[in-house]
A and B are shown apart, each in its own frame.
Chain A
Amino acid sequence: ETGVTQTPRHLVMGMTNKKSLKCEQHLGHNAMYWYKQSAKKPLELMFVYSLEERVENNSVPSRFSPECPNSSHLFLHLHTLQPEDSALYLCASSQGSGSGTDTQYFGPGTRLTVL
């Protein structure tokens, strides 16, 4: 439950605001992920970091900017978002290199609402 933490848990922002989501993992894992979960849609992988290096970027709009200062912390910087960006943003971590066979463990998520 507390292996991966995310703050804030809820965020309401206007389209002109700049905010950041934070994720921290206490599992000693090497890879961290950002996912977006919208209603009625499957989880969408946004970014993957392995040992602080970005290894995957799934054509995410530039208004989402990730940052991974070390293997335990991951940020998602948000600016000039659109209402359709409202969703649950989930952070996950895994032991391996961020490849396909890793078991991923999720944080509680940040519920983002863009007005």
Chain B
Amino acid sequence: QKEVEQNSGPLSVPEGAIASLNCTYSDRGSQSFFWYRQYSGKSPELIMFIYSNGDKEDGRFTAQLNKASQYVSLLIRDSQPSDSATYLCAVNTDKLIFGTGTRLQVFP
């Protein structure tokens, strides 16, 4: 069974710190990887996607992919209280499989 694993958290970081969110997946054939942010009571919002090994940066966000280790991560630099949300990792082979999400809390 194809799976996507995330630590449910909460991950608590102080304002201004780097938040590191991790995700592992079981299907080696996975081709594309997505990070969604979901605020409480809201729908998921796409933050980033990554297809190739290495890092991809977009503003304060960096996605990192290591296909050999079947590992994808999201770094949030200069974390803000407004970043407090649940972050969903999603992995695509023939369909999109979601993890249960990691709850991030950024405290002032």
Contacts and interface: CB of A to CB of B under 8 A. Distances in A.
Interface of A: 40-43, 45, 48, 56, 88, 90, 99-109
A24 to B, nearest CB: 14
B46 interface: yes
Tell me the dominant secondary structure on chain A's binding face.
loop
Interface in B55-108: 88, 90, 92-101
Interface in B13-68: 31-32, 34, 36, 42-46, 49, 51
Contacts of B32: 100-101
B45 A106 contact: yes
Contact of A106 (B4, B43, B100): B43
Contacts, number: 50
A100 B98 contact: no
A105 B4 contact: no
B45 A100 contact: no
B34 A90 contact: no
Contacts of B90: 43
Given A42-B101, A100-B31, A106-B45, 5 more contacts: A41-B100, A42-B99, A101-B51, A106-B43, A108-B43
